[in-house]
Structure 1
């Protein structure tokens, strides 16, 4: 009994996996992989959304217990409430985060790193739009506490502050890490983690978000950054640049200023 030859689609798949098939096929394969990885990155947020929508008892108890404990502490420490209000609206507020990203975009544009500037702008904009859409889809009410120490408009899940901090810090890290000496790189990572955790704490401590809201903001923010970063990496692969890791930043080449184009001689 003779062995049948592989079917044509199987041969094409093997060539594709092996790196053959031309630039279009390789680019298509990268896009497929990007879509799959983005979907996997969105799984944790989807799970959190299901648990919130179903009012899963352990999560509901955690939200209630933490909110009540932090609210009692806030009522007993009015000065601390003023500090939290400053941190959540000024130091770590969405406007501050977006202005930092806008400054990075302008700096990249002046350096003629146009694709990296576009990635940063698209990531920040997508974060805001996706977060707003998710809020209106879920329509979760904010905490209702006796003698509230703060108020916030709109719906609760996911936390816009937590999501904005997550995506903004990710943009700043992935753009600026190549400019930081290797021995100093743990410092910006630590600052990013403190910023995300800090602003998330202020939202729960002020009684305007549940714990699950800020976790949802982290997860959805990471999913957005994953999607845009994979698209950027697909472009790098398409133009023949090597792949990078988060520890290297998105475009290590940013450390070398792009030379100005030579002016044409006048005729």
Structure 2
């Protein structure tokens, strides 16, 4: 579903639709003025954007999660997490190269970023990464904590977009495009994962339960090797010899 609004936004960006350009310019200029007047605030935004919510940091976290899934022998879920993260990154890079949109050129910039502008790689990576965290870990989270986790994920994704516009390195529509494209990638890979589950003989899982509710099941541990019962062995409960 999100692929349709992203396609529409892409057409408007390529066509340089004037109302969209006015919104972008107003948001960029307004937030830039605040950033210039408040250096401490700007430093906090740079810390969040370049370290806490940096794409490399989020991708590394997804990689750690994937390794943990492999350790638990959740092969399908590990493959989904890896494909979503890698596919999202490559898709975003491809769209950037095709669109070739320039970043905002502001007087007295407070931050710089290389490459093209649309869509925002930070916004897209945050969307795909936090979606992976939620859809993988929801089965392990107590129900009472699920709403706070959803809120934290939404706040982080929205915060990434805000920092990129406030620092003057992206247009507002770049961030919207990153969110929409990230959701489209997650929806596509999640649909493929559900089809995979059905083929494997498992039913579709509700979104609120994560992609693999069975993740809560511990991997079976090998028990002691069973051999012939010794002749003098006794039943521990009755104290009697086993029958021949």
When normalised by structure 2's length, the TM-score is: 0.90
1:90 aligns with 51
- Give the drift of 1:100: 1.2
CA distance in 2 between counterparts of 1:196 and 1:72 reads 23
- Give the drift of 1:169: 0.3
- Give the drift of 1:263: 9.0
The answer for unaligned runs of 5 or more in structure 2 is 227-244
- Give the drift of 1:260: 4.2
The yes-or-no answer on 1:180 pairing with 2:141 is yes
Could you say which structure has the larger radius of gyration? 2
- Bigger mean CA offset, 235-244 vs 253-262: 253-262
* Cα deviation code 1:45-68 (max 9, x no counterpart): 101100111111111110000100
The yes-or-no answer on 1:242 pairing with 2:203 is yes
* Cα deviation code 1:178-224 (max 9, x no counterpart): 11111211011001101100011000000000000000000000111
1:68 aligns with 29
Over 3 Å counting, the alpha-carbon distance change for 1:264 and 1:130 in structure 2 is: farther
Q: Runs in 1 of length 4+ with deviation above 2 angstroms?
A: 260-265
1:228 aligns with 189
CA distance in 2 between counterparts of 1:250 and 1:89 reads 30
The yes-or-no answer on 1:57 pairing with 2:42 is no
The yes-or-no answer on 1:206 pairing with 2:167 is yes
Which residue among 87, 112, 115 is the counterpart of 1:126? 87
Superposition RMSD in Å: 1.4
- Give the drift of 1:228: 0.6
The answer for unaligned runs of 5 or more in structure 1 is 1-39
1:138 aligns with 99
- Give the drift of 1:235: 0.9
* Cα deviation code 1:149-191 (max 9, x no counterpart): 1000000000000000000000000000011111211011001
CA distance in 2 between counterparts of 1:189 and 1:73 reads 29
Equivalent residues, number? 226
When normalised by structure 1's length, the TM-score is: 0.82
Over 3 Å counting, the alpha-carbon distance change for 1:263 and 1:138 in structure 2 is: farther
1:157 aligns with 118
- Give the drift of 1:244: 1.2
Aligned with 2:182: secondary structure?
helix
The yes-or-no answer on 1:47 pairing with 2:47 is no
1:169 aligns with 130
2:61 aligns with 100
- Give the drift of 1:264: 8.4
2:235 aligns with none
CA distance in 2 between counterparts of 1:263 and 1:132 reads 52
